[in-house]
Chains A and B, each alone.
Chain A
Amino acid sequence: MRQVFHLETDRVPTHWYNVLADLPFEVPPPRPAPPREGRPRTLNPQLPLSMYRPSIGRSRFVEIPEPVREEYRRWRPTPLYRATRLERELDTPAHLYFKYEGTSPSGSHKINTALAQAYYYARSGVKEMVTGTGAGQWGTALSMACHPYGMECTVFMVRSSHRQKPYRGTLMRLHGARVIESPSTETEVGRAALAADPDSPGSLGIANAEAIEYAARRDRARFSIGSGENHVLLHQTVIGEEALLQMETAGEFPDVVIGAMGAGSNFAGISFPFYRAARERSASTRFLAVEPDACPKMTRGRYLMDHTDYSGVTPMVRMYTLGHTFTAYHIHAGGLRYHGAAPIVSAMYDNGLVEAASYSQSRVFECGAAFARAEGVVPAPESAHAVAAAIDEAVKAREDGAERVVLFSLSGHGLLDLTAYESHLAGNTVDVVPTDEQIQASLRPLVESDETAGAHPLP
């Protein structure tokens, strides 16, 4: 019998959790973007101050505005399951739990921050949100979130994903968004990327750079991002806060918490509240971020000051990065192709509070398909990275003959990714790994301009 741990609607968290309050070190602050030619003559703040304020503060808990909670209550709390059938098939003594965010209207965790951001931006007088999206989950979430607040939404979607997942574009348009394939001819950044490589698969860095440029010339429009910024990580902690209560109901506490790692919001969402709880109970819980071999920012990148966008117009943050000009090979988990890891997650990794692992695309789909057969839920390719790591933990527990409680975030469903699964079933999944030379080429300019680079050599 399947074990489900539901929470009543009134248990939707009242507060987000701010991990900065519990870190035994300071996360390095951002550095202003370098001056550049053609910069506008006036400065337009991009983030609502009330959204930014708590994201750099040290208050442990940040109250969720009631209108945002009201939206959350439309589908939250999301369920926590124990994957008993998968446990049996793996013949493991490990207890495998997954927090399933695929029940949200957009099909993934991304809407947790999209709704919060839409609330703050609308309150600030913004009329149009502009963004870049990789696999389309963020674009879908933002297009859905803008609608209740009467805002327009424009999405630059990475070309490879846009063509691989046409229904993502349909879904965004259905919710009123304008979807533009990136690189596009709508912006200087896009035109330059196309001139350099007319067949460019695009990247999230390029899509975001296009969105920034586009928003800058629109009236009352703002660029919004759903990946690694402090406020995004903060909003996603509703996942872990609920999971804490659900694991309590299950009568267990995880030995390892696992999340797929794009820029870090899903990983942070599931793991940060457990980081706090583990500290409180002096538990030696491990936190494992899982990335694709094709975009190994944590396992093969360096801890450097870098831009968050391809064109280098954004402020620089210290993060594990492959370099903002790094364009990962086209993989099905488009949401994990971002070049850098969130500053907070990066600092935690640098301080040994977080672990990282990378997986090949073929292994990820093998595990995703096994999970789908066992549990009846098709994981998004991004989420399947966490499944792969959870399966490895379960196998290790079997080999060690030790019980182990494993919790992972199943951040989204893969029902709009069936082309990718079809490719897997046909045996056509390709493994792609960047060479050391490719990584070093995009890192070189950063290393040369970062006086602390020597302290963080290649792993």
Chain B
Amino acid sequence: MDRAKNLDPAAEIKDIMIGVLELGVDRSLLDDSVSLYSPVVGLDSLSLLHILVRIEKRFDIEIDDEDVMSAELSDVGSLVEMIRRAVEAKGVDE
């Protein structure tokens, strides 16, 4: 997890979102308050899972099913927060 020590997880998560969703926008446009349903993001539940799988690979973690299923995600910040908690719970040194 040496890479994780040097990078901002929130930025990485946003970069993965941009890549998976092929958004073609700069990370700065993905402010925490941007709705996941906004035209900028346009996320749906399947894409969310795809993003989570990519994040799991990147941070070498496995996110619990229950954490994902009970999540009520509304904006970019809530998604970043859910993943941040999962990463911390797995003891990844940020």
Q: Is the CB of A30 within 8 A of B49?
A: no
Bound CA span A29–B21, Å? 10
Is the CB–CB distance between A30 and B47 below 8 Å?
Answer: yes
Cα distance A30–B51 in the bound complex, in angstroms: 12
Interface residues on B, range: 20 to 34
B73 interface hit (Cβ, 8 Å) = yes
* Cα separation A342 to B49 with both chains bound (whole Å): 19
B24-79 interface with A by 8 A CB criterion: 36-37, 39, 42-50, 52-53, 56, 62-63, 65-66, 68-74
- B52 contacts which chain A residues (CB < 8 A)? 49
B44 touches A315 (CB 8 A): yes
The answer to whether the Cβ of A75 comes within 8 Å of any Cβ in the partner chain is: no
We find that the number of chain A residues with CB closer than 8 angstroms to chain B is 29
Let me know if B44 and A32 touch, CB within 8 A.
Answer: yes
- Which of B36, B39, B50 has the most C-beta atoms of chain A within 10 angstroms of its own C-beta? B50
Do B66 and A315 touch (CB < 8 A)? no
> Considering the chains assembled together, what is the distance between the CA atoms of A58 and B56 in angstroms?
15
The minimal Cβ–Cβ distance linking B81 to chain A, given in whole angstroms, is 14
Q: How far is the CB of B19 from chain A (nearest CB, A)?
A: 12
How far, in whole Å, are A125 and B39 apart by their CA atoms in the complex? 31
Q: Which residues of the other chain, A, contact B37 by a CB distance below 8 angstroms?
A: 35, 39, 41, 43
Q: Which residues of A contact B50 (CB under 8 A)?
A: 29-30, 56
Besides A43-B72, A50-B62, 16 other CB < 8 A contacts? A32-B42, A34-B42, A35-B37, A42-B72, A42-B73, A42-B74, A43-B44, A43-B73, A43-B74, A44-B69, A45-B69, A48-B68, A123-B65, A124-B69, A125-B69, A314-B46
Q: List 16 A-B contacts (CB under 8 A).
A: A30-B46, A30-B47, A32-B44, A32-B46, A43-B43, A44-B71, A46-B45, A48-B69, A49-B65, A53-B53, A56-B53, A124-B66, A125-B65, A126-B69, A314-B46, A315-B44
